[in-house]
Amino acid sequence: MRQYGQANHFQVTKIHSKGRGWEEGFKERNEIIAQYCDYIYSIAESPKKTFCYHCNKTDHEKTAGCWTGKKNGNYEVVILE
Ligand SMILES: [Zn+2]
């Protein structure tokens, strides 16, 4: 990923979770990402089980990427077909 960033002129920084699970570390990690990033791309699947209540849209599955993007305020959703 770092090489991809260098080739495309953007910085890549890994931010790891302290634990596994939303309250065990994922939420804190995503809050850091939301503060640190200029722009968030949320990669989401087509809707399968739960539509995205973060975006309040039915065209993609919910994802913490949208939660992070919404917290940041500057994001877009890329829906995988
Ligand atoms: Zn969403």
Radius of gyration of the chain from its Cα atoms, rounded to whole angstroms: 13
Q: How far is the CA of 6 from the centre of ligand 1 (A)?
A: 28
- Cβ < 5 A residues, ion ligand 1: 52, 54-55, 66
Output the pTM of the full model.
0.86
Strand duo 40-45 + 51-52: pairing: unpaired
Mean pLDDT over residues 9-19, rounded? 90
pLDDT score at 3: 83
pLDDT, tens only, 21-48: 999 999 999 999 999 999 999 999 999 9
pLDDT, tens only, 57-79: 999 999 999 999 999 999 999 99
Q: How confident is the model at residue 5 (pLDDT cuts 50, 70, 90)?
A: confident
Q: How far is the CA of 73 from the centre of ligand 1 (A)?
A: 12
